[in-house]
Structure 1
Amino acid sequence: MIHKTSLPKDSEERLRSLGPALQQCSGVLFAYLFGGATVSPLKPLSDVDVAVTLMTLSIWSRGVWRPSA
């Protein structure tokens, strides 16, 4: 979907802080940024795509640190 609202002025700063913030989340297996936000400088209408893989509750509770099949 195309929005006509520009990204906030501090978007690049927010993106830089996203990795360290996600590292503090114990349920996150991995995350990655893709799409228009991977190109610097961001354009006013760049999209920000973030994929996050979370542990399932059963994996987390057993201490197994790999995604379920």
Structure 2
Amino acid sequence: MLPVRTHPELSYSLSNLQMLCGPCHARKTRIEVGHKPLTPKRQEWRDLLRDLQRNPVEHERKSNA
């Protein structure tokens, strides 16, 4: 896979396509633009927030237990 940023002619080329879920796309983009990977604590926090958004009732039950 070649980045479209440096190879715009490949923008619509199926042979250069890579399907990624949202979190994997964000991680790949962070690496490509030169950001450091998230610290384990920061990633843990992000995962918790994502889980809360997906299933708020379940987290409420756990916190009240």
Q: Work out whether the TM-score is over 0.5.
A: no
Higher gyration radius (CA) = 2
User: If each structure's helix is expressed as a fraction of its own residues, which one has the higher value?
Assistant: 2
User: If each structure's strand is expressed as a fraction of its own residues, which one has the higher value?
Assistant: 1
Taking structure 1 as the reference length, the TM-score comes to 0.24
Which one scores higher on RCO, CA 8 angstroms, separation ≥ 6? 1
